[in-house]
């Protein structure tokens, strides 16, 4: 009889241990799942924050750029891709917008849906008719603007000198093809404040570019 009660006690004790182990296992699994869900939520929030940062960075770049109007370009960020929609005046501006997007840390691809609108008109420079001093400042700005766009395009500015006087741009130097000469002239011609372009570039095959 003594052995009978002892066996019964051991039997119920074993059942209790198994039940406790199962409950503990379920609790641990639930805690692990909760931790995974929290990690997923944090990861999703982190991704959204990073995308928002990239978008803000890109929009700031467009706002500070003299060659583009941030109000006419809509940006969206999808992971490492920037999606650009809106309108610009020239193909040069369209390419510039794409290159600026690629310059943002974390953006490795651009879906460029910008359209070229021939009717697109940019605001005239305020100080253009304010005397020789202001004209000199404008000319210096035009020179810098043309140089910047040349650097951002297939035409490298290393072998090109840009000179501006009273809104007339003169390009001096060498390029490696007629196409690059034409592109440099187009860039200068479409720059705000330019009235005329004198293209004195020479075609020299094998010209080194940076």
How far apart (Å, rounded) are the C-alpha atoms in residues 114 and 85? 5
- Exposed (0-12), middle (13-18) or buried (19+): which is 146, by Cβ within 10 Å? buried
- Single out the residue of 171, 121, 119 nearest to residue 149, CA to CA: 171
> What pairs with residue 112 in β-bridges?
84
Q: Average of pLDDT values for 89-115?
A: 90
Task: Quote the pTM value.
Answer: 0.43
More confident residue, 186 or 150: 186
Which DSSP letter does residue 205 get?
T
Per-residue pLDDT tens digits for 12-66: 445 454 444 544 455 555 555 555 455 554 454 477 778 878 888 888 888 777 7
pLDDT band at 197 (very low <50, low <70, confident <90, very high): very high
- Exposed (0-12), middle (13-18) or buried (19+): which is 166, by Cβ within 10 Å? exposed
Ordered by where they begin, the domains of the chain are: 50-116 (3.30.1340.30), 132-203 (3.30.1340.30)
> What pairs with residue 42 in β-bridges?
none
Q: Average of pLDDT values for 161-172?
A: 89
Among 71-80, 149-158, 182-191, 194-203, the least confident range: 149-158
Say if residues 200 and 172 touch (Cβ distance below 8 Å): yes
How far apart (Å, rounded) are the C-alpha atoms in residues 25 and 130? 82
């Amino acid at each position: 009889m003594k052995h009978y009660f002892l066996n019964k006690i051991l039997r119920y004790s074993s059942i209790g241990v198994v039940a406790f182990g199962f409950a503990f296992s379920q609790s641990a699994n639930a805690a692990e799942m909760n931790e995974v869900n929290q990690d997923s939520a944090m990861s999703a929030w982190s991704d959204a924050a990073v995308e928002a940062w990239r978008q803000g960075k890109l929009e700031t770049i467009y706002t500070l750029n003299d060659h583009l109007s941030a109000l006419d370009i809509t940006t969206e960020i999808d992971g490492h891709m920037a999606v650009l929609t809106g309108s610009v005046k020239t193909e040069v501006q369209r390419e510039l917008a794409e290159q600026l997007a690629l310059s943002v840390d974390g953006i490795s691809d651009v879906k460029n849906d910008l359209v070229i609108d021939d009717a697109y008109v940019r605001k005239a420079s305020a100080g253009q008719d304010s005397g020789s001093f202001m004209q000199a400042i404008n000319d210096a700005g035009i020179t810098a603007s043309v140089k910047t766009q040349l650097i951002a395009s297939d035409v490298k500015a290393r072998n090109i000198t840009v000179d501006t006087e009273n809104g007339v741009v003169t390009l001096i130097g060498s390029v490696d093809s007629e196409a690059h000469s034409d592109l440099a002239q187009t860039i200068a011609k479409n720059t705000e404040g330019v009235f005329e372009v004198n293209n004195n570039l020479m075609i020299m095959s094998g010209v080194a570019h940076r």
